[in-house]
Amino acid sequence: MSCKLTTKDCDRILAAAEARAEEIGVPMVIAIVDESGVLKAFKRMDGSLLISVKVAQGKAYTAAALRMTTREVGERTQPGADIYGMQFADVGRIISFGGGFPLVKDGEVVGGIGVSGGSCEQDEDVAQAGMAVLAQ
């Protein structure tokens, strides 16, 4: 049975991620894409960085397209690593630093979340807070 990322799922993910960003005091941009990498939900918090708009969407796309975290993409695209060069396959869309995660629902990748605005660790923390609602 194929499951999908619903609008209701996205609303819950955005709310949880935004709440975490507010809790840590960092204005973030949060992007959610479906399994095809198409933008499904988006939030730009007041005071977030302009560059974060593109970066968050790229992180979400990368996580869905490659079905791995953007941190893992960064590790695996270093010279000599197993997928070195992948970052050039879709120039401008593949992001290779932390803050993007595949969204998994009932064991199936249904999309990706990308968060940008803080350090990679803060971006990952906020993304994970949003992702946690899919497990509930």
**127 or 86: which leads in pLDDT:** 127
For the domain covering 7-135, report its CATH number. 3.30.450.150
**29-40 pLDDT, tens digit each:** 999 999 999 999
Where in the chain are the domains? 7-135
Task: Assess contact for 131 and 101: CB atoms under 8 A.
Answer: yes
Which are the contacts of 102, defined by CB distance < 8 A and separation ≥ 6? 63, 64, 67, 68, 69, 109, 111, 112
Backbone angles phi, psi at 119, to 5 degrees: -70, 165
Question: pLDDT (tens digit, 9 = 90+) per residue, 66-104?
Answer: 999 999 999 999 999 999 998 888 888 999 999 999 999
The band of 2, judged by pLDDT with boundaries at 50, 70 and 90, is: low
pTM of the model: 0.95
Residue 6: Cβ within 10 Å count = 12
